[in-house]
Chains A and B, each alone.
Chain A
Amino acid sequence: MTRVNTPGRGRNAVEVRGLVKHFGETKAVDGIDLDVREGTVMGVLGPNGAGKTTLVRCLSTLLIPDAGTATVAGYDVVRQPRALRRTIGLTGQYASVDEKLSGWENLYMIGRLLDFSRAEARRRADELLERFSLTEAAKRPVGKYSGGMRRRLDLAASMIGRPRVLYLDEPTTGLDPRTRNEVWDEVKRIVADGNTVLLTTQYMEEAEQLATELTVVDHGKVIAEGTVRELKAKVGGRTLLVRPVDPDQLPVMTAAVAEAGLDGIAGAGTDPAGEALSVPIISDEQLTAVVGLLGARGYGIADISIHLPSLDEVFLSITGRPAAKTDEAEEETAKA
């Protein structure tokens, strides 16, 4: 099959204009515009019920939009659904693999459904199981897989047809932090291969880790867009918390950081509990600089943690009101 139109790098793999999808009274998607450039990762960030999944379902031909247009790899979602389905890979919120079949059988089946020959489908299944570190579990039924293994198989299944655009709909929702990192590593490898990815997530941290550009949605509308850096600047970035070995040193440490004049650091204080030094930062370099300074001055550090802006804080700063569903602040702790 020849493609009607082959977007090159830098062109839009996904173009959405004024997309609307209502379910009765609920305006799930209410006029969304979105461009995803070829070879980039677009993160669609929003709380539960913001319309993220409905958007992905419209873009994967599972739902027919009520109004507006959307094209993927040049194919229209309404007029050319069959051709469009050849260009996409979909990983849903819940594992879209067959739990009663083994991992290998799942991948082989999808290969056959994508018109690979038996030999090619077999080879592709072996190849992807190995790539996603599932070779040992290949023959086990997916129902017996752990949550992380299931997501990895789901990713593998979506990659079989070498899709031009990969949709990841909340790929780590419901996973524990360690498993989440595991899935992130796989997604990063997929991205490093130059794939175009549309990622939806409720987690600011996930968007930061994986996406190059962000679109923030709420109540079916785009409320902010830009690069991760731009949005973070809007929100105010992270807060570095340093707990000294000797709590009595806290005031001198605070003064030392405040007076050092480190690049871009606008003020150091004490956290509300009065146990740690608190410094707002926006880059890893600043983190290194603060910790380096304290180390060089010979202060003993017991614990370092980074407080990331929660989705709530992002929403609060963009819209002036809390998100529809509150989300706990993400905490990253590193033992010094």
Chain B
Amino acid sequence: MSATTTQERPAPAAPVQGSEDGRIGLRANLRHIGALVRRNALQIKQNPESMADALLMPIVFTLLFVYVFGGAIAGEDGGYPNWIVPGLMAMMGLSIAMAVGTGVHEDFSKGVMDRFRSMPIARSSVLIAKVVVEIGRLLVTMAVLLVVGLAVGMELNGRWLELLAAVGLSTLFGASLTWIFILLGLTMSSAQAIQGMAFMVMMPLQFGSSIFVPTETMPGWLQAFADVNPLSQLAEASRNLINGTGEVGGPALSVVLWSVGITLVTAPLAISKFRKKV
């Protein structure tokens, strides 16, 4: 195109959306998030290894727990897959979210973020797109987990709807955790510090819970912690949903409340951090 074409063409000027003060409408906002999700998805396509953790983690953990620890923990009555797979579903959300911190740190120190922040889009849309992509990764991980779980002997007995509900709960909780790690990634100054911090958060939550083993054998103080740990609540809700073994409402409500609470606190903090980042 010639140098003068920009002048001749009746320019479909960029600002077709937005009001007088440039406020961004809902539809425009969704379109922006869509374009940014596409960016993240293309990055994964360009660098497929970045999906390795999401694909391998459920396989490794399921095999590890069922074949290495399963015999010792559950004896030989064979019900362990039905116990551990819902627990691992809860764990996957935490593990996927944890990796977001370092990714955000790297991504958000790049020049392209300056472009996004100088464009007429809601700055939150950059972060929301990140969360949407992580939800996608989490769903892939859970699909792999369930395939492996069924292969090693988990039995559903036709409880597909309950399974879907359990996946939904784990996804909701995982998405709320993503905000915590985005906030960490935006706050801390180095990738190592973020990783160290992420482990400090993850270890006690993960092992001080009923994900891997029943809490009955824990000392009283730890049992008290494990029982209020939202990961225990999530594991319990998922187990009871999938196995039809006990109460669902209480633990499920607790998970929903935790998820909403975490999101309401950390999402605005993360967005404001991103807005002010120099």
Q: Which residues of A contact B (CB under 8 A)?
A: 1-2, 4, 60-63, 80-86, 88, 90, 92, 94-101, 105, 109-110, 112-116, 120, 127, 130-131, 141, 157, 159-162, 189, 192-194
Contact = CB atoms under 8 A, between A and B. Distances in A.
B120 A114 contact: yes
Given A62-B118, A141-B46, 15 more contacts: A1-B15, A1-B16, A1-B17, A1-B18, A61-B118, A85-B118, A94-B111, A96-B115, A97-B111, A99-B110, A101-B39, A112-B32, A112-B38, A113-B35, A115-B31
B39 A98 contact: yes
B61 to A, nearest CB: 29
A160 B14 contact: yes
A58 B14 CA distance: 22
Contact of B15 (A81, A86, A120, A160): A86
24 contacts: A1-B20, A62-B117, A81-B22, A82-B18, A82-B24, A84-B22, A85-B119, A85-B120, A86-B120, A88-B118, A92-B114, A98-B39, A99-B110, A101-B39, A101-B46, A109-B35, A109-B38, A113-B121, A114-B14, A115-B14, A115-B28, A131-B5, A162-B11, A192-B3
Nearest to A94: B111
Interface in B36-75: 36, 38-39, 42-43, 46-47
Given A96-B111, A160-B14, A112 B34 contact: yes
A95 B32 CA distance: 21
Nearest to B277: A62
Interface in B108-149: 110-112, 114-121
A80 B120 CA distance: 11
A80 B18 CA distance: 13
Contact of B111 (A1, A95, A159, A193): A95
A94 B110 CA distance: 9
B161 interface: no
Which of B12, B15, B46, B118 is packed against the most chain A CB atoms within 10 Å?
B118
Interface of B: 1, 3-7, 11-24, 28, 31-32, 34-36, 38-39, 42-43, 46-47, 110-112, 114-121, 278
A2 B20 contact: yes
A97 B112 contact: yes
A96 B11 contact: no
Contacts, number: 126
A120 B111 contact: no
A212 B61 CA distance: 65
A191 B28 CA distance: 31
Contacts of A115: 14-18, 28, 31
B13 A162 contact: yes
A1 B28 CA distance: 14
Label chain A's interface by main secondary structure.
Answer: loop
Contacts of A131: 1, 3, 5
Nearest to B126: A113
Given A82-B120, A101-B39, A112-B32, A90 B115 contact: yes
A157 B1 contact: no
5 smallest CB-CB distances across A and B, nearest first, come from A82-B22, A161-B14, A83-B22, A112-B35, A96-B111
B24 A114 contact: no
Contacts of B12: 116, 120
A101 B107 CA distance: 13
Given A60-B118, A61-B118, A86 B111 contact: no
B114 A62 contact: yes
B8 to A, nearest CB: 10
Nearest to A59: B118
Contacts of B114: 62, 90, 92, 96
Nearest to A132: B1
Nearest to A162: B11
A189 B3 contact: yes
Contacts of B118: 60-62, 85, 88, 90
A82 B6 contact: no
